Amino acid sequence: QVRLVESGGGLVQPGGSLRLSCEASRSISEVYTRNWWRQAPGNQRELVASTGANGRVRYAESVKGRFTVSRDNAKNTMYLQMNMVKLEDTAVYYCNIEGPGYNYWGQGTEVTVSS
């Protein structure tokens, strides 16, 4: 079993930046996708960004050009850099790693965009 721990959420003003981190308790040898999701109050969970095994990243249209994913394998950590945030980016953000026979989720970190 692998534990994922998100951090970096908080309060940010519109137009500001925030970087979320998701640290895995250990390295994972085979991964299908590494994902960032978010869920705003009253809404369904939304896929924000997905990185495939080939390294290709797909972003939700709503965050394209503003959010960027990256990873530090030495730290078993994936990141979501959020720039030019908008009010509608307010949500709880979750990281998720899928592979053969597993589907790990973090506990979520809350991001509030407000002036």
pLDDT for 1? 87
Q: What is the DSSP string of 36-105?
A: EEEE-TTS--EEEEEEETTS-EEE-TTTTTTEEEEEEGGGTEEEEEE-S--GGG-EEEEEEEEETTEEEE
pLDDT value at residue 26: 94
Q: What is the mean pLDDT of each run of 10 residues along the chain (115 residues)?
A: 96 98 94 97 96 96 98 96 98 97 96 97
The predicted structure's pLDDT at residue 58: 98
Q: What is the pLDDT of residue 76?
A: 96
